Amino acid sequence: MDSPRNDLGFARDLISQFRAVRVAKNLSQQELDGRLGIAEGLTAKWENSFRKPTLFHAYCWAEALGLKITLSPNEDSNDKM
């Protein structure tokens, strides 16, 4: 079995998608902090890899951007259900 992707790779992939949607929606990091009800500057720390959001915060981040997190099969996986 291949080793799972490291935590940093996961965070980079997900956060880069969140950032792209935030920018496309013309929201500042400070506006997103307000929508999430989090400490000022926390979105910037997440987007710049100084901190990693919890799974709960990632869920809330998605909702604040009008998204939802869903699971889908990995087409590259050798594991068959």
Structure confidence by residue, pLDDT tens digits, 20-48? 999 999 999 999 999 999 999 999 999 99
Retrieve residue 7's tokens: 């935590």
In the chain, the domains with their CATH numbers are: 12-64 (1.10.260.40)
Q: How far apart are CA 8 and CA 39, in angstroms?
A: 22
**Mean of per-residue pLDDT scores for the chain:** 88
Q: How much of the chain, in percent, has pLDDT values that exceed 90?
A: 67
Q: SS3 string of 5-42? A: CCHHHHHHHHHHHHHHHHHHCCCCHHHHHHHHCCCCCH
